[in-house]
Amino acid sequence: MTTITEQSPAAVDAPQKRGLDLRRVRWWRVVVLGVLAVYFLVPLAATFWFTVYTPGTHRFSLAPYSQMFSAPGFGTSVRMTVEVALLTIVILYVLLVPAMIAVQLRLPKLKPILESLAMVPLVLSPVALVVGVQTVLGWGLNQDPGTPLFQLAADLQNQTFPLILPIVYVLIALPFAYRSLDAQLRTVDLKTLVEASRGLGASWPVTIWRAVLPNLRSGLLSGAILTLALVFGEYTISSILQFLPFSVWIVQDGQGATSGQLAPAVSLLSLLLSWAVLFLVSFLGGRRAVGRTDRSS
């Protein structure tokens, strides 16, 4: 015998109200995204208009974008910045990844201490940091030429490739890389991975390289992107230490340019390239994650 249950008017109207709420959420989402798009795109469009339009002649020209590649010092500054960024990422992960794995597996009580140490650069003034670094380097240069301290200080301040910049940038990028890796480690059963790898006879370096790092790919990529953006945009430290990476070159070239359009064109192009790299890495990381999910299913 089939029984028919009557539904109250409130129960009947519930799906309609729920759908109406969802439509409202979608509408507000479009509004918020539209406001954010206007907030970010209008300044970029204004910058692009300034670089291609000359008010006196009322002509449009893409000459600033073609002139930047032949501008004096452009290639050297970009190459130095890329090399410094790559070395910063390598040093950062060589120090951070083993420490976080050891704390996660063997010393969990030290995790609050490690996290506190990683967050210290957030409250450290870059000006105070670079003044201290400059003072220490000055002590080395005050030694007699040929002594180890003098040679070390001179090598750290080599104008072709200043090794002091990656050392300082590691401290500044430490909080961002730590947060990225910590968020990824929370989603990985690290203990099971390590025990399985070690049980199959793999050494610790092989375990970290073949079992742990592939599962931390998203966190590593996020930290690397943040570090790369930090190095390309940092100006204060490199300027006080009198080096000429990409950010300092943009300012100096803009001050010496006659038209004033080259520096904004370079800044706009570097910003767009940074966004392109970010989207490309995110897209590749998403595709790999989907591929692993499909294979596991």
Least confident of 19-23, 108-112, 284-288: 19-23
Neighbour count for residue 291 (Cβ, 10 Å): 10
- Tens digit of pLDDT for each residue in 197-216? 888 888 888 888 888 888 88
pLDDT at site 222 = 84
pLDDT at site 256 = 59
Question: C-alpha distances in angstroms, 222 versus 67, 169, 182, 205?
Answer: 33, 16, 11, 23
**Residue 239, H or E segment:** helix 236-240
Q: d(Cα 180, Cα 222) in Å, to the nearest integer?
A: 6
178 pLDDT tier (thresholds 50, 70, 90): very high
Selection from 171, 174, 191 nearest residue 102 by Cα: 191
- Tens digit of pLDDT for each residue in 262-284? 778 877 877 777 777 777 766 66
- Tens digit of pLDDT for each residue in 95-145? 999 998 888 888 888 888 989 988 988 888 888 888 888 888 888 888 878
Q: Residue 67 pLDDT more than 90? A: no
Strand stretches in the chain, DSSP E: 53-54, 59-60
Is residue 254 within 8 A of residue 262, CB to CB? The reply is yes
Q: Residue 1 pLDDT more than 50? A: no
Residues 6+ apart with CB under 8 A from 135: none
Least confident of 19-23, 49-53, 82-86, 121-125: 19-23
Q: Residue 82 pLDDT more than 80? A: yes
Take residue 131 and report the two structure tokens written for it. Answer: 């003044």
Q: What is the mean pLDDT of the chain?
A: 80
Q: What are the backbone angles phi and psi of residue 54, rounded to the nearest 5°? A: -110, 115
Selection from 271, 220, 245, 110 nearest residue 169 by Cα: 245
Q: d(Cα 205, Cα 187) in Å, to the nearest integer?
A: 22
